[in-house]
Structure formats: C-alpha cells, structure tokens
C-alpha cells in the first residue's frame, strides 16, 4: 500500500515537473518574441533612448548594475514574502472564525469591506508615521493589500462544500472541528490557491508602492530614482525584474496547486 502511494506521489511530481518544463520553454520563446518586437519597434519608429532604450542596452544594465538590482530586488522580495506570510496567517484564522460563526461573519464583513475600499496609497503614509521608513512599513502595506483577496476566497471555500459530505459526517457524529479538518479545509484548497495567485502579484506591487511613498530601499525606489535621473536602462531593467517576479509567483502557485489539489484535476 505504501509502495503504491509513493508511486502515485512520484507520478504527480513527474507530471508537475513536465508541466513546469513546458511552461518554461513557452515562457522563454515568448520572451524572445517580445524582445524582437521591442527591438523592431525602437528601430522602426525611431524611439529615442531616453524614452525607450533598445533591449540590448537594458540587458547590458543587468550586467553593469547587477549588484544594485540584486540588492534592491532582495529587499522588495523580503518585504513581499514576510507580508504575504502575515496576511495568510491572519486571513486563514479569520476565515476559519467566519466559517465556524456565521453571526461573526455577518457583523464583521461590512467593516472589512469598508477597510478594503481605502486606497493603499492613502494608508501607506499613515503606516509610515507609525512604523517609520523601511521594511516594517513594506510588510504592513503588503499584508493589508493581500489580506482581503485571501480572506474572501478562503471564506468562500470553507462554506462551499458538498452536501453529501456534510450529511455523511453528521451521520458519523463528527464534531465541528472534525468537519473543518476533514471536509471544509480540503474543499477550500482550490480557493486558497486562487487567492494566492492574486495576492502573490499584489504583494510585489504593494511592496513597491510602499517603497515609492516612503523612499526606502527596493525596486520601487530604484524605479523612481532612475526615472528622475533619466537612467532609462536601469529603470526598464527594474521594471522587467518586477514583471518577471510577479509572473514567476503566478506560475509557481499554479504548479503547487496542481501538485497539492491533484484530486480536483480531471
């Protein structure tokens, strides 16, 4: 029994690896096509370098300014990752509380919606006054930006369950926590990954927004400073790095979903 289970796990890992390999090849081909179109547009329309530099100049900036790009990227990734972990923790606990207590959900949801309607650009300066400039503000902004999509998807997943499964657990006398563990959490996993795909990209944008407003280190501040100094090669390199990070988070989340929620695959 254990051998067949291990074989099934290895087969799922191999299938996920092949899927990731195909995606990497398609991404590389699409990136090459984009670079060719970029070069053709710059040459064909005569766009000056101080507006849109050619791709070779941007690629050269990765070599000459690689250390700066790496340090700023690492700072942004740190803020986004820690903020996302904090957001997942709070969103999970809140969604579980809502699933166990409908009255609490009905009372709290209008407050959360009102809080979500506040733009992050308006909240970030207030957070900066409280926490100061630096990593703590980035973590707080990322947690706020990513909390709501995670909460909404998790709360929906925890209540969207199969009625036959609910009746079966009632027949066996399962407690509310047993229902949560064996029924609601597995059914909520696809919703969790849906929220993670949205929150992953929002985490990078939230960290960069915090850096724009507070002037702390990171890709956001690097883009702002290079734009003011007309260093367009570094600016476009930083933009490309942020886009690649957001796409990578999206694809890794999708691959993890296929591996973890394999029982939902057709």
CATH number reported for the structural domain that contains residue 204 in this entry: 1.10.3720.10
Choose between 93 and 171: higher pLDDT: 93
How many residues would you count in the chain? 266
Residue 42 lies in a domain: no
Does the pLDDT value for residue 263 go beyond 60?
Answer: no
Residue 223 lies in a domain: yes
- Evaluate whether 131 touches 221 at the Cβ level (below 8 Å): no
Residue 39 lies in a domain: no
Choose between 171 and 51: higher pLDDT: 51
Return d(Cα 195, Cα 188) in angstroms, integer. Answer: 11
pLDDT recorded at residue 266: 45
Tens-place pLDDT, residues 56-104: 888 888 888 888 899 999 999 999 999 999 999 999 998 888 888 877 7
- Evaluate whether 171 touches 113 at the Cβ level (below 8 Å): no
Range of lowest pLDDT (33-37, 87-91, 217-221, 255-259): 255-259
Return d(Cα 216, Cα 210) in angstroms, integer. Answer: 8
**Is the C-alpha dihedral spanning 173, 174, 175, 176 positive or negative?**
negative
pTM, two decimals, is 0.80
Residue 4 lies in a domain: no
pLDDT recorded at residue 89: 93
Total domains in the fold of the chain = 1
Q: How far is CA 217 from the centre of its chain?
A: 20
Choose between 261 and 263: higher pLDDT: 261
Mean pLDDT of 116-132: 80
Residue 3 lies in a domain: no
pLDDT recorded at residue 81: 93
The single residue listed with the structure tokens 């081909």 is 29
Choose between 166 and 243: higher pLDDT: 243
Residue 137 lies in a domain: yes
pLDDT recorded at residue 85: 94
Return d(Cα 3, Cα 75) in angstroms, integer. Answer: 44
Residue 158 lies in a domain: yes
The single residue listed with the structure tokens 């700066």 is 68
Does the pLDDT value for residue 265 go beyond 60?
Answer: no
Return d(Cα 104, Cα 99) in angstroms, integer. Answer: 9
Query: Could you list the residue range(s) of the whole structural domain that residue 228 is in?
Result: 48-264
Percent of all residues in the chain with a pLDDT value above 70, rounded to a whole number:
86
Residue 227 lies in a domain: yes
């Amino acid at each position: 029994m254990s051998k067949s289970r291990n074989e099934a796990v290895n087969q799922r890992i191999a299938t996920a690896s092949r899927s990731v390999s195909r995606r990497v090849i398609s991404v590389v081909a699409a990136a090459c096509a984009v670079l060719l179109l970029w070069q053709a547009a710059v040459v064909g329309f005569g766009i000056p370098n101080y507006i849109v530099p050619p791709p070779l100049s941007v690629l050269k900036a990765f070599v000459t300014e690689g250390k700066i790009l790496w340090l700023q990227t690492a700072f942004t990734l740190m803020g986004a990752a820690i903020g996302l972990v904090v957001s997942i923790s709070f969103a999970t606990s809140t969604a579980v509380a809502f699933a166990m207590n409908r009255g609490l959900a009905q009372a709290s949801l209008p407050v959360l919606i009102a809080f979500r309607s506040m733009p992050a650009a308006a909240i970030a300066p207030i957070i900066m006054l409280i926490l100061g400039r630096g990593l703590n503000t980035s973590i707080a902004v990322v947690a706020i930006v990513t909390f709501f999509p995670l909460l909404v998807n998790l709360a929906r997943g925890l209540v969207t369950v199969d009625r036959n499964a609910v009746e079966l657990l009632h027949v066996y006398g399962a407690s509310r926590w047993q229902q949560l563990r064996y029924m609601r959490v597995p059914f909520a996993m696809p919703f969790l990954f849906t929220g993670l795909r949205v929150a992953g990209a929002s985490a990078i944008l939230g960290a960069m927004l915090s850096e724009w407003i507070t002037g702390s280190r990171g890709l956001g501040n690097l883009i702002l400073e290079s734009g003011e100094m007309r260093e367009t090669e570094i600016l476009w390199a930083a933009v490309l790095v942020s886009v690649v990070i957001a796409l990578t988070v999206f694809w890794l989340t999708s691959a993890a979903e296929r591996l973890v929620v394999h029982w939902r695959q057709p």
